[in-house]
Structure 1
Amino acid sequence: MKIKLFLLVILFSVCNLYAQNVKEDFSDDWANLTKYQKENELLGLPKKGEKRVVFLGSSIFEFWKDKDPEYFANHAYVDRGISGQISAQLLIRFRQDVINLKPKAVIILAGSNDLAGSKGHVTNETIMNNVKSMAELARKNNIKVILCKYLPVYEYPWNKNLKGAAEQIISLNKNIVAYATENHFTVLDYFTPLVDEKNGQKAEYTTDGVHPNLAGYKIMEAVTDAAIMKAIGK
């Protein structure tokens, strides 16, 4: 009897130790909803009079709050960027990371990672379909839409085999502006103040030709604040 009890205790201990060491599998969370889940819960709903703005995008937005955290701390701005994400992932996150936060406006920066991929399945149409779906969801939920002209990119350092990146960005931006104009959405132009003579980013504003440095983000902050003012006022 004592031996059986001892073996049961050992078995229970081994099972408990195994359970503690097994990490939960989040491979089904393709859009990485878990990244901001707890932050969203802690953030809660806007306070009375708060004009919250959500920044939805990929690494350009995610790195922004690291490069210049005071910009977000001093405004009712909520950064919800996740590095590497494509427009379809942003669409999946839209309800949790935008709608449920009850912002006055959302800034949508999408498309570059779609274009920078090497699978060859992405077109401007697929990107725009996702952007349109996000914009329509926002409008239905009384959230002002701010669509971005993407930052200039001459070449992606991690995919130098991709040719014509600059032309693809320019073409996508034309589609975004046309759609925004047709639907009376605010356009936020990150392209014009950062572009150089090759339609890439000016060297003094970027770390790698794709992502801005602090000086680049300062330029972006000025045009962002102007666009937000246009969309929702002070």
Structure 2
Amino acid sequence: MYHVLARTHRLRDLCGALICLLFSLACPAQASINGNAPASANKSLIITGASYAQEWKTPALPGYTVINMASCGLITSEVRARFERDVIELKPDTVLIWGHSNDVVRSEPQDMTSTKKKAQENYEAMIEQARAAGITPILATDLTIPIPDTMKEKVLSFIGNVRGKTDYRVEKNTEIKALNAWLREYAKTHNVKLLDLERALASGNGTRKVEYTRKDNSHITAAGYEAITKYVVSQMT
């Protein structure tokens, strides 16, 4: 009787081992669920920011699984207010923070100094929050408003200067670029990776290429996003 039971137990153990083996072969992703991800697994990257970032959707970035949590119309204070929910709680490996143009566009000239200071504080707070949570932060410079390099634009600019009036686009671009310059210096000083989107889409006249801008003179065309993705891939690989 003892031998019969022993053989029965051995047969049951053998069947159990075979079932486990078959299950493991059928479910190769189980290792990553248990926290032992294979070395080749992609890192997770969250994009946060406003409409420019939102409309980039989930670009194909080698080595990353992208989640886009950006939302149209946000300023940096609102991105910061959502940072815990949109980024920290999801525990990504990396977060890309993109966007301060709404801060600038919505600010009155007399408030611009305080607006830029607040945007800087928001960036700093999000970088610190990400690093405290073990998340690698990446910063991105923002895009300028395009100004076509045409004779008509040059004439209008000359007339405006004679009359002592500053072009709205020039006024806003000056402040967007000032914050971009601050981001470059901050990233360099604090060892944060920076994606210089302003320069990646530059036309050569100090503003964004017209062909990368939709008819609203703000949002990005498909060609613009293709250029952004190509540039970012070159910087991330």
TM-score w.r.t. the length of structure 2 is: 0.67
One-letter amino acid matched to 2:83: F
Shift of 1:129: 0.2
- Cα pair 1:55 1:80 within 8 Å, conserved: yes
| Higher Rg | 2
Aligned residues: 179
Letter in 2 for 1:150: D
Question: Partner residue of 2:180?
Answer: 173
Aligned to 2:131: 139
Deviation at 1:131, TM superposition (A): 0.4
Structure 1: distance between partners of 2:81 and 2:184: 23
Q: Report the equivalent of 1:108.
A: 97
Partner of residue 95 from structure 1, selected from 57, 71, 84: 84
Q: CA deviation at 1:70?
A: 6.4
- Structure 1 stretches of 4+ with a deviation exceeding 6 A read 44-47
Q: Report deviation, 1:161.
A: 5.2
Q: Is the 8 A contact 1:188 1:227 kept in 2?
A: yes
The aligned counterpart of 1:50 is 42
Work out whether 1:183 is the aligned partner of 2:183.
no
Within the candidate set 65, 68, 92, 1:79 is matched to 68
- Is contact 1:153-1:199 (8 Å) kept? no
CA RMSD, aligned part only?
2.8
- SS state of the match for residue 178, structure 2? helix
1:200-231 deviation per Cα after TM superposition (whole angstroms, max 9, x unaligned): 221111113322111100111122223333xx
Which residues of 2 match residues 1-234 of structure 1 at below 5 A?
Answer: 48=37, 49-65=41-57, 71=60, 76-119=65-108, 121=111, 122-154=114-146, 164-207=171-214, 208-229=216-237
Query: Aligned letter for 1:113?
Result: N
Task: Report % sequence identity.
Answer: 27
Listed as ranges, the gaps of 5+ residues in structure 1 are 1-43, 230-234
**Gapped regions of structure 2 (runs ≥ 5):** 1-32, 148-166
Distance 1:112 1:59 in 2: 10
Letter in 1 for 2:54: E
CA spacing shift, 1:46–1:222, aligned 2, 3 Å: farther
